[in-house]
Structure 1
């Protein structure tokens, strides 16, 4: 079983607007509401792949009820800790080949709710084969909260994949998660400098001061660069007609988790990971993939070892 952790889930509202007008009236011809948050996007992709997955985190208010109903409707197992606060909304506006996001901060999580969650995780970690934690921290949680969860995973000798950013990511590195997946801007924030070229990025990855087993820096439609131990890999993806890019990073993480469960290693693991991110862009709904397309598109992704 793959356990996904979404500490700050949301109801994701997707608007598609042609000719978006700033400071003007905009009519939306397409609206979609989804049980969202990065970890739930991961969960849906794993469910599409027919893998056993359980979603956990915090949920509260009417948005929390909406998310539970959506997961039940999709047949996805979940075990969320109820909180007094209201789960947030996040809005994505897709307009003229661009994406603009408005993300609420999220509810306040009390100390009692956090203790209940950690106690529950002790039981869930025992049953999990891989643990995936994604997204931001809600109010009230310490920036070291992910570090606590990583240390718990070490106690149970379970791989822990972490997809977060900013201070939450920086404070988690010393606990040594199995994998981190910043995009290029998040990686630049992490190292405190810009990478003005691919050569700069490669240099920074080679000199990265913490020995995380896997560091994947995603580059949008330019693919990714992955560091595994002393080796670096450049992943090149084909040009495709993207339908919805939202959640592709989450699908990439899901592909990595799925690959670990299926026993993939090295380039086969990286291919499966990036492929899921690519397939997500071909779907209208966020955090979805069509497994029937795997055999076609896996032939289109190129992996070059850089050393």
Structure 2
């Protein structure tokens, strides 16, 4: 079973506009409202693909009914822990072939709430094969909290995927406890390494992934958008290529990729199948207007069009 953790979820409003009238009024009836957050997107995609999972995290009373009703409609299993603060909203405006996002900061978590969630979490991960810790941390929690959650899951023999960014990811990787997998995008891996990456120079990427900061991480998937991904698994390296598509909404494609990794680990699939599954789900999300959403019937077609090539160190 897969457990996804979203500590700072959001209710997302998406406005799909032909154009945006800056400093004026733009009217539309193309509005979607749904709960979002990296871990929630992971669980939604896993659910849509038919795999057992449960979504958990921290949820304020202000949007509890909205979130839980929507998750129920999507057929998702969820057990969120209620906090006193308010869950954040976010706004995505699709306009003129571009996308603009506005994200609220979110609630502040008390020490009592943080400790109580640990007990809640320990119960949920008892039978987990994979735990995905995904997204930003709300105020009141530090990267040490992610490290604690990771350690607790590993003691239960679960494989942990960390999908975070910035100082949170950097501090997690600096700890003596390593996640099984991380999925940075190109910008995030460049920030971590302090180097600019040429996606065509595979040997330079291999050398970059030999940096001590990545030591002990079994699986590293660098997502590169339309350029696919570069993957390190143990001491093996792979380049994934994805089919060319007309992108509807790329937001959530990284989360869908994480869902693919989680499903493959849960199903004990081989590394090349894992990579193809992860890339395919990322592609399927980009075909949809809704964030963190895939159409299962499209999976075989795009799986077959996704290629994986092993890259040898020279």
TM-score (norm 1): 0.95
User: RMSD value over aligned CA atoms?
Assistant: 1.5
Deviation of 1:143 (Å): 2.1
Residue 195 of structure 1 is matched in structure 2 by: 197
> In structure 1, the residue corresponding to 2:142 is in which secondary structure?
coil
Instruction: Find the counterpart in structure 2 of residue 4 from structure 1.
Output: 4
**Partner in structure 2 of residue 56 of structure 1:** 56
SS of the residue 1:23 aligns to: coil
Larger deviation: 229-238 or 20-29? 20-29
1:178-217 equivalent positions in 2, closer than 5 A:
178-199=180-201, 200-209=204-213, 210-217=215-222
- 1:164 corresponds to which residue? 164
Q: Please give the alpha-carbon distance, in whole angstroms, between the structure 2 residues aligned to 1:15 and 1:203.
A: 42
Between Structure 1 and Structure 2, how many residues are aligned?
307
Q: Is the CA contact 1:206–1:230 (under 8 Å) kept in the aligned structure 2?
A: no
Return the offset for 1:261.
1.7
Assess if the C-alpha contact under 8 Å between 2:19 and 2:96 holds in 1.
Answer: yes
Shift of 1:211: 2.4
In the superposition, the TM-score normalised over structure 2's length comes to 0.93
Question: Which residue of structure 1 aligns with residue 19 of structure 2?
Answer: 19
Unaligned stretches of 5+ residues in structure 2:
none
| Separation of aligned partners in 1, 2:127 and 2:216 | 27
Show the counterpart of 1:71: 71
TM superposition shift of 1:29 = 4.5
Q: Distance in 2 between matches of 1:243 and 1:3?
A: 28
* Residue aligning to 1:108: 108
Partners of 2:288 and 2:198 in 1: how far apart? 32
Q: Deviations over 1:208-240 (max 9, x none)?
A: 532210111111111111111112111111111
Comparing 185-194 and 195-204, the one that deviates more: 195-204
Q: For 1:144, what is the secondary structure of its paired residue?
A: helix
Counterpart check, 1:221 vs 2:223 = no
Summarize the Cα distance change of 1:197–1:263 in structure 2 as closer, same or farther, 3 Å threshold: closer
Residues 8 and 37 in structure 2, CA contact (< 8 A), matched pair in contact too: yes
- Contact kept, 8 Å, 1:181 with 1:215, in 2: the verdict is yes
Please, which of 295, 303, 308 is the counterpart of residue 290 of structure 1?
295
Structure 2 Cα separation of the partners of residues 162 and 30 of structure 1: 34
Does the 8 Å contact 1:64/1:86 carry over to 2? no
Question: Which runs of no fewer than 5 residues in structure 1 stay unpaired?
Answer: none
Q: CA deviation at 1:196?
A: 4.5
**1:262 to partner: Cα distance:** 1.8
Provide the rounded CA distance (Å) in 2 between the counterparts of 1:185 and 1:289. Answer: 25
Counterpart of 1:230 (choices 219, 235, 239) is 235
